[in-house]
Amino acid sequence: MSAGELAEDKNGFMDVGRFAGSFVVEIGYRQAWPFLGICDNRPTPAQEARLYIDTAWRIEATSFVEGHADDDMAWLAAALDLIEGTINAARVDDDGSLLLTTGSGAVLAVSGEPDPTTIGEAWWLTGWRPA
């Protein structure tokens, strides 16, 4: 079972496939976890969810940056390439890795494997809430 399936099954949350067609509205760092805020304008009212990361990640855009959950400044600088980007594709690989690709070609890849300092899941999604 993948990390995305675990998040959905364990927490009653959503399928990462719903990210396709949504867009990144915020990036940040909460406590020990980098996150992306995702907005879906298709339903009325619009809805938002967050992706939290507690493992290794990489962003491929105009440059290539990789880090871990505790690399706060690297995350904030690199994730700027994702902000306001429409997510064209979202998938969870067999190893639990999450891949998000934006319309500009930027890619966020999150490992499905926990780091030694990971507390729970390598990554997880919140439920959708009204925007």
Query: What is the full per-residue pLDDT of the chain (131 aa) written as tens digits?
Result: 344 443 444 433 356 878 999 999 999 998 889 999 999 999 999 999 999 999 999 999 877 888 988 888 999 999 999 998 899 999 999 899 999 999 999 999 999 999 898 989 999 998 889 99
- Predicted pLDDT at 9: 41
Cβ 112 vs Cβ 124: under 8 Å: no
**Shortest CA distance to 22 belongs to which of 74, 90, 77?**
90
pTM for the whole structure: 0.85
d(CA 13, CA 11) in angstroms, rounded, equals 5
Q: Which structural domain range is residue 88 located in?
A: 3-130
pLDDT attached to residue 4: 42
Res 7: pLDDT: 41
Q: How many domains does the chain have?
A: 1
Location of structure tokens 């992706």: 51
Parallel, antiparallel, or unpaired for β 98-102 and 87-92? antiparallel
In order of 18, 69, 99, 113, the CA distances from 117 in angstroms are 29, 9, 22, 11
